[in-house]
Amino acid sequence: MESLVKILQEQKGFSESESMIATYLLANFRKLAGMSTRELAKNAYTNSAAIVRFSQKLGFTGYTEFKVKFLAEMMQHINRPSNNELLVSTHDSIHSLIEKVTAIEIDTLKHTRALLDPEAFLRALPLFSKSEHIDFYAMDNNLDIARIAASGFIMANKCSSVHSSMTMQYLQATGGKKHLGFFISRTGNNRMLVDIARLLKMKKSPIILITANKNSELAAMADVTFTVASVENMEELGPRVFLLGVKYVTDILFAMLMTRLDYNETRQKEQWLSKNFRY
């Protein structure tokens, strides 16, 4: 759905009266929380019925529902730059790039957090618990995050494998029992990854997926799907946005696994390694 703030700013198809209402709302939104329909109508030089019709034109049942949505969007709007202001360009100074990248990454984490379902982590936990090995399936830049995730899972006593070669990934999928397939795919429709997922389903192997497309072919086969934020534009750091969301999810999974470790056993392993190896 198009941003409500943007609709009020552009005022496309608005009558003169509606434009006056929109202009007043944008300029005086901080006063709106305790303002009744009658008070708003008086300040915008119109009547209460016009305010209700205006709210309904924008898809709301009435003024109260519109006000709640509008105020929520306005608070987000003033707390971060608009999408156009976040586009990086050759005209940006180092200071500007620092601010934009910071805003983009904070926005990505907030968006991904809003998309995540805590129940999905609860459904994923028994899949990790029952599995003796985690096999990662990914391509291109997604392999970098897969390697980071795998190293963390190994620290949490979960053996993990990442192969950059697709041939090795196909062979990996023919492996033994008690393996968990962990897929990372922005589109969720990569033909080779879909083939591998079908092979795993034939073997009744569980699948966890991180994607930006919850309606993809891979999502339809996954036992647990984590949906993360993504954008298409290179100027909005498109490829990096998805990777940041993926790392965020794998970090949560890592934390979840670490909290369930036997710390006495882990400490003994560390002591044994320190005694017998220099690392």
Q: Are residues 73 and 167 in the same domain?
A: no
Q: Are residues 58 and 179 in the same domain?
A: no
The domain boundary, picked from 25, 52, 79, lies at 79
Asked if the structure places residue 23 within a domain, the reply is yes
Number of domains, the chain: 2
Residue 118 sits in which domain range?
A: 114-266
b/e code 208-226 from CB counts within 10 Å (16+ = b): bbbbbbeebbbbebbbbbb
**Residue type (1 letter), 43:** N
Sign of the torsion formed by the C-alpha atoms of 10, 15, 16 and 22: negative
Query: Residues near 60 by Cβ (< 8 Å), separated by ≥ 6?
Result: 66, 69
Q: Are residues 143 and 239 in the same domain?
A: yes
Q: Are residues 48 and 121 in the same domain?
A: no
Q: Are residues 49 and 138 in the same domain?
A: no
Range from 49-63, 181-195, 221-235, 265-279 carrying the lowest mean pLDDT: 265-279
Asked if the structure places residue 109 within a domain, the reply is no
Q: Are residues 133 and 256 in the same domain?
A: yes
Alpha carbon separation from 73 to 8, 26, 29, 58, 257 (Å, rounded): 12, 11, 11, 14, 36
List the CATH number of the domain containing 167. Answer: 3.40.50.10490
List the CATH number of the domain containing 43. Answer: 1.10.10.10
pTM: 0.66
> Residues, the chain, total?
279
**Would you say residue 261 has pLDDT above 50?**
yes
Q: Are residues 13 and 62 in the same domain?
A: yes
Asked if the structure places residue 46 within a domain, the reply is yes
Segment 72-94 shows an average pLDDT of: 65
Residue 249 · residue 228 · CB < 8 Å:
yes
Asked if the structure places residue 278 within a domain, the reply is no
Q: Are residues 194 and 149 in the same domain?
A: yes
Q: Are residues 135 and 227 in the same domain?
A: yes
> Nearest CA to 164 among 139, 145, 187, 189?
139
Segment 174-179 shows an average pLDDT of: 86
Q: What is the pLDDT of residues 198-245, one digit of tens each?
A: 999 999 999 999 999 989 999 999 999 999 988 665 445 567 788 999
**Would you say residue 268 has pLDDT above 80?**
no
Percent of the chain with pLDDT over 70: 86
Helix (H) or strand (E) holding 108: helix 94-115
As given in the structure block, the two tokens for residue 170 are 């196909």
Q: What is the pLDDT of residues 88-117, one digit of tens each?
A: 666 767 777 787 778 778 888 888 888 888
The domain boundary, picked from 79, 103, 123, lies at 79
| Angle value at C-alpha 185, between 158 and 226, nearest 5 degrees | 65
Cβ burial, residue 73 (10 Å; 0-12/13-18/19+): middle
